[in-house]
Structure 1
Amino acid sequence: MERNDLTVRPITGCEELDLFIRLPYTLNDELADDLTAGRRRPEWTWVALRGDRLVARAAWWCRTGDDAPFLLDVFDLDDDSGTGEDRVDVGVRLLRTAMAAVVPAGARPPEYGRAVPPGWRDDPAASRVVEERMAALERTGARLFVERLRLEWRAGTPVSEPSGRLRFRPVRDTEEILSLMTLVLDGTLDAHSRDDLSRLSPREAAVRHYEDELAHYRSPRDWWRIATLPDGEPVGFVTPARNDYNAVIGYLAVLPAHRGNGYIDDILAEGTRVLAAQGVPRIRAATDLGNVPMANAFQRAGYVNFERMINMAWG
């Protein structure tokens, strides 16, 4: 589509990746593998061009094996192209054109998720870039949903020895983990879970989370751990795993009846030990900015906040 010398179109295939990655982002190095694996598709990968110059881009991602986009995770504007309003206008035109082709008519667009520097609000240059992208997304109907901390444990960071307060065992079966996931939704501080609970029962929300995330892990389920008291009563659980990119602490929770006793530290340490024993160079995790108890637990365990994630949603 061309308008006022702006061409908006999807890339033709892997041969145009060099064009698409002219704008920098940490995900650029993953794009080729994602296209090969089917987690991205050329028809979901869009550019806005003025002549041969890339002035904006957008791309959607899906989980391995899926047929529909799950997340809009690349959206960039060329910092050197016109004024801030010009850049926002180009971004809006790109998004509207691409979304009309990628998102089925009447469907809710996939959520937007973008990694940003941890101190982006204190850096005028970084805040301008983030705010311009958000302004363009808002003009298409998106609103800020949540800001999240992206966390990383690095090989060589000390891991706490077991305190002896809890016992750990593998998860028996899918029903056991689903039952515990249902229970921990009571009083959850997680924004996505709270949003799910506005439309679904706790059990339905747990099943959705399991099917959207845990079921897609590439690693053995016997890495997952149930934390119990010495008498066998469950206290919480952790799902150390490997996704398509990194070792991760996928889900970490304490049952409502046992919160406030510091068990989160024991459970996180166990999940970290499971993955560290695999010789991984890093372990990734994330939690909402507003989930202060969880963020503090990760900090105590030696995880560093290396990025934040801006999530925006439509509808």
Structure 2
Amino acid sequence: MTTQHHTDLTLRPITGPDELDLFNSLPYVLNKEIAKDLAEGRRRPEWLWLALRGDRLVARAAWWSRPNDEHPLVLDILDIVDNTDDGVRLLSAALPTVVPAGATPPEYTRFVPPDWRDDNTSRRIVQDRMEVLERTGAKLFVERLRLEWRPGTPIPEPTGRLVFRPVREPGELVDLMTLVMDGSLDAHSRDELTRMSARQAAEEQYQTELLRYPSPRDWWRIATLPDGEPVGFVIPAHNGYNPIIAYIGVVPAHRGHGYIDEVLAAGTRLLAEQDVPWIRAATDVGNVPMAKAFARAGYVTFERQIDMTWS
């Protein structure tokens, strides 16, 4: 086990599940998932780090992966009690042991209140965390809206302009995902296109994200015109935590006709028919057309999400 002492600060990973109560003594919405994540291989004890002053927890950090991935995919917990220096020391000690030598650290992502800028306490907490990340070399990548549809919210009836059918074979969906990349307002998609082709990005997302959802693939829907010409698609799914609209898009040739509302309604309806407690979705703050489509469909912003990256 790696343990580092900085003056009166002890920096180390947890010794095992018996220290989860200590780790979870700082509040965050993800706390309730950590034990299950450990049991199912999405987290490891050596990825959950503590900064202790005596026996008092003053900062913590944790990484997450898909089940049994060799390396973590995201830094999704970072909390500091009252001193940003504690957070900087903690990350500086943990990163070299968690991240493979020479690799770029995984993205940091954090759920924050939807009005965090308007509340002095929330703003200070968010900015303190961002300062810790910036001092270790990260920078703001994107801010996202986290959205929720709740049962009882009306779902528009089909207009008949579009026909929805299951995906016939993987190549069909990857073809449409490739087309949707063109003109995308999604920051992650735009970033991927600086490093790879649209086809490569679509295939990677299909393999590493869509295929890993535990929900049935026959939920996935292709939207076509009545003559069968594809217009777009929607991927309703369950990510192991929540029912979600995982991916949605309209191909460039059919944008501007309001089809996105019908595609989103179809995905929402399919999940609502599973008697789910809610449906979650997310989109970049800068993706105004998609944010407006979710708002028209009755999705409410219940949180925001801050994503930061190391270059």
- Band the TM-score falls in, shorter-chain normalisation: over 0.9
Matches within 5 A, 1:60-139: 60-78=63-81, 81=82, 87-139=83-135
Matches within 5 A, 1:268-279: 268-279=264-275
Counterpart for residue 38 of structure 1: 41
Q: Which position in structure 1 is the counterpart of 2:22?
A: 19
Shift of 1:120: 0.4
TM-fit CA distance, 1:53: 0.5
- Provide the rounded CA distance (Å) in 2 between the counterparts of 1:213 and 1:306: 24
After superposition, what is the alpha-carbon deviation per residue over 1:220-272, rounded to whole angstroms, capped at 9, x for unaligned? 11100000001000000000011110100000000001101000000000000
Q: Distance in 1 between matches of 2:67 and 2:164?
A: 30
Q: 2:218 aligns with which of 219, 222, 240?
A: 222
What SS is found at the alignment partner of 1:244?
A: coil
**Alignment match, 1:50:** 53
Q: Is 1:195 the equivalent of 2:198?
A: no
State the Cα distance separating 1:95 from its structure 2 match. 0.3
CA distance in 2 between counterparts of 1:159 and 1:275 reads 11
Does residue 235 (structure 1) correspond to residue 231 (structure 2)? The answer is yes
CA distance in 1, matches of 2:269, 2:48: 38
Please give the secondary structure, in 1, of the residue aligned with 2:117: helix
Letter in 2 for 1:24: P
1:248 aligns with 2:235: no
Cα separation, 1, equivalents of 2:68 and 2:268? 28
**1:205 match:** 201
For the residue of structure 2 that corresponds to 1:227, the secondary structure is strand
Tell me how far apart the structure 2 counterparts of residues 169 and 227 of structure 1 sit (CA, whole Å). Answer: 7
Residues 64 and 216 of structure 1 are in contact (CA less than 8 Å); yes or no, is this contact kept in structure 2?
no
Is the CA contact (8 Å cut-off) linking 1:115 and 1:307 kept in structure 2? yes
Residue 173 of structure 1 and its aligned partner are, at CA, apart by 1.1
Mapped partners of 1:57, 1:47: distance in 2 = 5
What is the letter of the counterpart of residue 8 of structure 2? D
Cα offset, 1:64, TM superposition: 2.0
Amino acid at match of 2:122: A
CA contact (8 A) 1:153 1:284 kept: yes
**Match of 1:303?**
299
Q: Which residue of 2 aligns with 1:84?
A: none
**C-alpha separation in 2, matches of 1:105 and 1:65:** 20
Q: Could you list the runs of 5+ residues in structure 1 that have no partner in the other structure?
A: 82-86
- TM-score using structure 2 length: 0.98
Q: Aligned-pair distance for 1:65?
A: 3.5
Q: Point out 4+ residue stretches in structure 1 off by more than 6 angstroms.
A: none
Q: 2:253 aligns with which of 257, 277, 281?
A: 257
Deviation sequence 1:91-115 (CA, Å, 0-9, x none): 1100010001100110010000000
State the 1:212 CA deviation. 2.5
How far residue 34 of structure 1 moved from its aligned partner, in angstroms, is: 0.5
CA contact (8 A) 1:265 1:297 kept: yes
| Residue number in structure 1 paired with 2:288 | 292
**What RMSD in Å do the two structures reach over aligned CA positions?**
0.7
| Matched positions, count | 308
Which of 147, 153, 169 is equivalent to 2:149?
A: 153
**Structure 2 stretches lacking a partner, 5+ long:** none
